[in-house]
Amino acid sequence: MSGPKFPPQPNDPSSSTPQSSDPAETSQAKERPAAKGITRRGFLKGAGVAAAGTALLEGAQVFTREAAAATRREHDGVKEFGPGAVPVALQVNGKEYTLQIEPRTTLADALRVHMGLTGTKVVCDRGPCSGCTVLMDDMPVNSCMTLAMDAIGHRVTTIEGLQSEGELHPVQAAFVKHDAMQCGFCTPGMVMTCSALLKKNSHPTEDDVRQATAGNLCRCGTYPRIFAATLEAAGVSGKESIRNA
Amino acid sequence: MATTKLPSSADALLGAAADAAKPPAGMETVTMPYGVPGYTLHDVQRQVPTTEPPVLPVNADLEYIGKSPKRWDAHAKVSGSGRYTADIQLPGMLYAKFVSSNVPHAKVVSIDTSAAEKVPGVKGVFVIENLLGGARLLNPSLEVSKYPIVRYAGQPIAAVAATQPHIAEEAALLVKVQYDAKPFVVDMEMARQSDAPPVFPGPANQGGSAGGGGGARNVPQTGNIHGPAVHKRGDVEQGFKDADFIVESKYTTQVQVHNALETHGVVADWKPDLLTVWASTQGTASVREELASFFKLPKSQVRVITEFMGGGFGAKFGPGNPGVVAAALSKQTGAPVRLMLDRKEEQLSVGNRPSSDQTLKIGAKKDGTLTAIQLISFGTAGCGTGAGCAGPATNLYQSASLHTEENDVFINAGPAAAFRAPGHPQGAFALEQTIDELAEKLNMQPLEFRDKIDTNPVRRVERQIVRESALWKSRNPVPNADRGPIKRGVGLSQSVWYRHIVMDSAAEVRVHRDGSVEVLSAVQDIGTGIKTVMAQILAEQFGVPPQQVSVKIGDTNYPVGPNSGGSVTTASLTPAVRDAAWQAAQKFLVSVAPALGTTPDDLVLTKGEVHSKSGHMQPISFRRAAAKMDTSEVSAQARRIPDYDPKHYDTYGGVDVAEIEVDTEMGIIHVKQFFAVHDCGRPMNPSQVINQINGGLIQGTSFALYENRLIDPTYGLMVNANLDLYKIAGARDIPKLHVQLVESYIAQSSTDASGIGEAAGIISAAAAIGNAFYNATGVRIRSTPMTPSVVLETLSKAPQRSNA
Ligand code: FES
Ligand code: FES
């Protein structure tokens, strides 16, 4: 696979420069009497968004002149954006969106708050539930753990973009047929994860489906239906799947 | 509890009617199916109002009801178009964020909001002076404080509304709260000690919610111990004297947090003449009621909308602090305000299933007759009450005597809330293992013993189905039979839940001249599928496919609907829907009769066609007939009428069998499968019912093995207030689930439906796993969650058995 790796790896120097550029931020942190600790957003803000001379930057360069203009500093090959809003161009569900967002904005918030694409759900906002899964190119990512800027130059597909010409995607259709949902709050994330699995592996076993959805939490407990639906969407005989009226 | 007592006059009327040979005026005698098809089905007579629709036959004879058409809103859910409260965006909407306490017990001395108010983008700050939730001091003068006393870390103190979510988050951090810290206690054992720091300086009570929960009032309170609430039947002392065998043991269960995927929250839009609130709630009615009373508004000026809702499991009734605070901020700022909790707040402040520490003692005669059941329980509902767990011990089996004492122990933690079958998973975990233990002493098999002591006719059928199942037949009745380190076990547990009917259940059905039909009710669909069931009822009446029925619910502009808790929704609402559909159909016939050249009583609407009884005309389709309506619309509204025979009280339940493998070296329990046999009256949509039972078994397994709220005793903070460290069963942990539904007709209403949410496996999963563990290892596991350390400790404490 060519192109940038997402999400940025923890050992990627570009994602580990927690230099606060904002003195107000630091003093603010000191006087947090009711403080619940540092918020994740606050941390992201403190960290700023720095793009080193890595694949990330290449991704960043393709998109916008304006963003470059908004660059606050550039030194040692490190560009820093923000903390104010910068223009960001994203390609979502085949459409171009240009947003004016702070660089710390997560992809989930960019989709939900700034583009009104609320099909993607935010459940935990920190990684372990995958309720916010979207595809970046064909890879499922947790959009709450991905910065919107990291999606630049990639095809983002959300649950709203999975249908083609008004027809449900086979995974969606199979979820309907198997009633693989109750409250439905996990459903967009589950559907995205399962559709990504089928792109990679057109003949999964039930274990493959379990493995793929291991990070997707469903509190209503619809898993057996999800497994059966995904196997059916793949055209795999239900022999191995859970018998379930 | 969400039970609505029948008005005594109606009770008397129906009671008398059921006995009388000749029905009184306005009533008629009808013949209804009763019992389980294939086992106990027979006819019974009931006297019902003459306005009731014809008796529904059993599911096999129906076209739409009792079948499993696709979920009515499935398309919206798989395509992301369903708008949940979390998705509501209104022009000019502000985002609100709570300021929450970071200490577990304190008096708030001062709150300085000035720095937060200065942040650009902040439009309002609200300081809470009237906190909702938890128990309240009976004598408030024992605590004089301008602000609510902080009784748990994570208690909301104030909230900030700003134009962007992150501005609100940052400004919330700038609110300075000065605390006068008090000693605290977060461990139930420590809280029970006489020298423990008191969570309340005097007696305190908490009411239940529409979903149940809440604790006993008018009980003694000593230190942090609120109780006991004592219930007695017969003489247990004598009962134990009469017993040939007595089993007594202690069982403990942990605190479980609901963690619905959509957090608690609302979007509130306060306008001078109308407060509109989108709420993630299990009860639009309860949110409306409580907001109106909190803000002293006429109910007619409060509108609550819940079109899609991301799970509740008992914790989402009433507006709660988020609802009240968002409404107040909206009033203050003149803009709509969104206040959705984050996951940490969800874990800390809006409910949990109380823990339990139960000492259960049961006596039986040699022939298996139970002579005495005694349960002494302690449990913590944090700074609330509702830890009672005597339901199963009280209601599952016949015993000559019963004595239960339930105690709530206050600790400095968030208050509990009703959680799917409140008290029952805990109670069943102790009871069903004790029953198995007793069976072994009596030299009886688990099913045989239960046949003796459980008189419920439906569970008798369910046990028969279990007895004949391949899984049960594969069970080795000898415990600890496997020689290797991995030991297989099979065990069962029963469950019980109760028929609660909410009379505030109404619906309107409209028929339009274009042949379209719609049904309206304020009821909310919390994931159980009531929308689909309502569509099926109209489909059956009008012969229109369910997907073509318009279902409009989750809005208090429509007729009042029940709060969805305690398995009440389907049982309460569906008869009103069917009655409204039937009455609308009669009005429809009146409306079309002139154009069809006949009288309304010559016409019947059946299977989508209008027929003339006299043969006056060829049958015509419903749609063609509708075109002849003399007004553009006819409609009927109906409300729930009391059960046909309220003297006849039914419970629901099931028998669940677990197959597990215990890795005795690693201490890991693998739950391989469940075979679950359940009843819920007439299953209206079997696929949706099974879906709920799957969910109950999974939640129950997760409770049994993984979930645990952990609070650090040094700082009083929850250490796993997230979804990474609060472990919930996931895809790789899910056993194979085989659910068999038992249709059980009870002749109680025009749909004869019941509910399934509670008796859906959540009650029995942990107990069945416990009994399977004994079958596998020969050792009783008496504590949840059954983590590897608990398993290894349990095994190591057991008397050494020879494995050779
Ligand atoms: S919301 Fe993104 S992983 Fe949970
Ligand atoms: S359907 Fe409710 S969380 Fe999965």
Mutate to test the pocket of ligand 2, among A121, A123, A130, A186 (most ligand atoms within 8 A of CB): A186
What are the residues whose beta carbons fall under 8 Å from the beta carbon of A78, sequence distance 6 or more?
Answer: A14, A17, A50, A51, A52, A53
Note the pLDDT tens digit of each residue in B442-474. 999 999 999 999 999 999 999 999 999 999 999
Cα A149 to chain center, whole Å?
11
Residue A17: pLDDT over 80: no
Place of tokens 């930057």: A57
Cα-trace Rg, chain B: 28
**How buried is residue B58: exposed, middle or buried, by Cβ count under 10 Å (0-12/13-18/19+)?**
middle
Three-state secondary-structure class, residue B717: strand
Mutate to test the pocket of ligand 1, among A109, A126, A147, A187 (most ligand atoms within 8 A of CB): A126
How many domains in chain B? 4
Are A237 and A206 in contact, with CB atoms under 8 Å apart?
no
Closest A-chain CA to B84: A185
Task: Pick B723's closest partner by Cβ from A129, A191, A224.
Answer: A129
The pLDDT assigned to A83 comes to 85
Lowest mean pLDDT among A32-46, B15-29, B323-337: A32-46
B709 or A13: which carries more pLDDT confidence? B709
The pLDDT assigned to B202 comes to 96
Residue B52 inside a domain? The answer is no
CB-CB under 8 Å, A224 with B737: yes
Q: Checking DSSP bridges between strand B136-137 and strand B204-205, what pairing results, if any?
A: antiparallel
Cα B103 from Cα A51, distance rounded (Å): 39
Three-state secondary-structure class, residue B759: coil
Nearest-CA distance A127 → chain B (Å)? 8
The pLDDT assigned to A80 comes to 82
Place of tokens 């066609």: B609
Same domain, B493 and B516: no
Q: Could you tell me the pLDDT band of residue B21, with boundaries at 50, 70 and 90?
A: low
Residue A174 inside a domain? The answer is yes
Ligand 1 pocket residue status of A192, Cβ below 6 Å? no
Same domain, B475 and B557: no
Among B313, B329, B348, the domain-final residue is: B348
**Beta-ladder partners of B511:** B517, B634
Same domain, B124 and B174: yes
Residue A74: pLDDT over 70: no
Note the pLDDT tens digit of each residue in A105-116. 999 999 999 999
Mean pLDDT of all residues in B175-196 = 98
Token couple for B220: 């003694």
Q: Could you tell me the pLDDT band of residue B3, with boundaries at 50, 70 and 90?
A: very low
Compute, in angstroms, the gap from residue B370 CA to the centroid of ligand 1: 51
Token couple for B299: 């109910």
In chain B, the percentage of residues whose pLDDT exceeds 70 is 96
- A14 part of contact set with chain B, CB < 8 Å: no
Q: What is the mean pLDDT of chain A?
A: 77
B402 or A74: which carries more pLDDT confidence? B402
CB-CB under 8 Å, B695 with A214: no
Name the nearest CA neighbour of B561 among B83, B82, B210.
B210
Same domain, B601 and B571: yes
In chain A, the percentage of residues whose pLDDT exceeds 70 is 65
Cα B507 from Cα B584, distance rounded (Å): 11
Residue A72 inside a domain? The answer is no
Residue A210 inside a domain? The answer is yes
Residue A71: pLDDT over 60: no
Same domain, B657 and B702: yes
Residue A26 inside a domain? The answer is yes
Compute, in angstroms, the gap from residue A182 CA to the centroid of ligand 2: 5
B121 or A12: which carries more pLDDT confidence? B121
pTM: 0.91
Residue B249: pLDDT over 80: yes
Write out residues 191-230 of A within 8 Å (CB-CB) of B.
191, 209-211, 213-227
Are B613 and B602 in contact, with CB atoms under 8 Å apart?
yes
Cβ-Cβ pairs closer than 8 A, A with B, add up to 222
Cα-trace Rg, chain A: 20
The pLDDT assigned to A236 comes to 66
Name the nearest CA neighbour of B342 among B90, B82, B124, B97.
B97
- For an interface test with A, which of B112, B173, B420, B762 has the most A Cβ atoms less than 10 Å from its Cβ? B173
In total, chain B counts a number of residues equal to 804
Place of tokens 């130059």: A153
How many domains in chain A? 3
Mean pLDDT of all residues in B585-589 = 98
Residue B143: pLDDT over 70: yes
Same domain, B321 and B372: no
- A100 part of contact set with chain B, CB < 8 Å: no
Note the pLDDT tens digit of each residue in A145-183. 999 999 999 999 999 999 988 899 999 999 999 999 999
Residue B612 inside a domain? The answer is yes
The pLDDT assigned to B800 comes to 59
Cα B361 from Cα B248, distance rounded (Å): 4
Same domain, B529 and B621: yes
Residue B663 inside a domain? The answer is yes
* Strand intervals (E) in B342-385: 356-364, 370-379
Mutate to test the pocket of ligand 2, among A133, A159, A181, A190 (most ligand atoms within 8 A of CB): A181
Residue A226 inside a domain? The answer is yes
Cα B48 from Cα B30, distance rounded (Å): 7
Ligand 2 pocket residue status of B788, Cβ below 6 Å? no
Compute, in angstroms, the gap from residue A126 CA to the centroid of ligand 1: 5
Token couple for A198: 């089928």
Residue A239: pLDDT over 60: no
Same domain, B392 and B483: no
User: Where residue B536 sits, what CATH number does that domain have?
Assistant: 3.30.365.10
Same domain, B622 and B743: no
Residue B49 inside a domain? The answer is no
The pLDDT assigned to B137 comes to 95
Q: What is the mean pLDDT of chain B?
A: 95
Q: Which domain covers residue A90, as residue numbers?
A: 86-159
The pLDDT assigned to A157 comes to 98
Residue B31 inside a domain? The answer is no
Compute, in angstroms, the gap from residue A132 CA to the centroid of ligand 1: 5
Mean pLDDT of all residues in A187-203 = 97
Q: Between vectors from CA B13 to CA B9 and to CA B14, what angle results, nearest 5°? A: 120
Residue A11 inside a domain? The answer is no
Q: Which domain covers residue B783, as residue numbers?
A: 456-499+647-797
Mean pLDDT of all residues in B201-213 = 77
Q: Between vectors from CA B559 to CA B557 and to CA B565, what angle results, nearest 5°? A: 105
Name the nearest CA neighbour of B525 among B728, B691, B648.
B691
Residue A139: pLDDT over 80: yes
User: Where residue A205 sits, what CATH number does that domain have?
Assistant: 1.10.150.120
Question: Which phi and psi (to 5°) does residue A186 adopt?
Answer: -85, -15
Residue B726 inside a domain? The answer is yes
Mean pLDDT of all residues in A40-69 = 43
Among A111, A136, A159, the domain-final residue is: A159
Residue B205 inside a domain? The answer is no
Question: Which phi and psi (to 5°) does residue A134 adopt?
Answer: -130, 170
Ligand 2 pocket residue status of A186, Cβ below 6 Å? yes
Residue A240: pLDDT over 50: no
The pLDDT assigned to A79 comes to 79
Residues of A in contact with B732 (CB under 8 A): 210-211, 214
Compute, in angstroms, the gap from residue B113 CA to the centroid of ligand 1: 31
Token couple for B406: 């339930």
Residue A54: pLDDT over 80: no
Place of tokens 């577990």: B104
Find which of A59-63, A72-76, B748-752 is predicted with most confidence, using mean pLDDT.
Answer: B748-752
- For an interface test with A, which of B691, B715, B738 has the most A Cβ atoms less than 10 Å from its Cβ? B691
Cα B495 from Cα B658, distance rounded (Å): 14
Residue B622: pLDDT over 70: yes
Among B639, B658, B684, the domain-final residue is: B639
Q: Could you tell me the pLDDT band of residue A52, with boundaries at 50, 70 and 90?
A: very low
The pLDDT assigned to A82 comes to 82
Nearest-CA distance B342 → chain A (Å)? 7
Mean pLDDT of all residues in B269-286 = 98
Mean pLDDT of all residues in B372-394 = 98
Ligand 2: atom nearest CA of A221 is 4
- A123 part of contact set with chain B, CB < 8 Å: yes
The pLDDT assigned to A14 comes to 37
Residue A118 inside a domain? The answer is yes
The pLDDT assigned to A23 comes to 35
Residues of A in contact with B157 (CB under 8 A): 34
CB-CB under 8 Å, B723 with A36: no
Name the nearest CA neighbour of B154 among B711, B728, B707.
B711
Ligand 2 pocket residue status of A179, Cβ below 6 Å? no
B92 or A3: which carries more pLDDT confidence? B92
Q: Could you tell me the pLDDT band of residue B5, with boundaries at 50, 70 and 90?
A: very low
Ligand 1 pocket residue status of A125, Cβ below 6 Å? yes
Cα B601 from Cα B589, distance rounded (Å): 8
The pLDDT assigned to B217 comes to 84
Residue A73 inside a domain? The answer is no
Are B416 and B388 in contact, with CB atoms under 8 Å apart?
no
Q: Checking DSSP bridges between strand B603-606 and strand B609-612, what pairing results, if any?
A: antiparallel
Residues of B in contact with A163 (CB under 8 A): 79
The pLDDT assigned to B789 comes to 97
Are B560 and B592 in contact, with CB atoms under 8 Å apart?
no
- ipTM, 2 dp: 0.95
Q: Supply the DSSP symbol for B163.
A: S
In total, chain A counts a number of residues equal to 245
Q: Could you tell me the pLDDT band of residue B797, with boundaries at 50, 70 and 90?
A: confident
The pLDDT assigned to B648 comes to 87
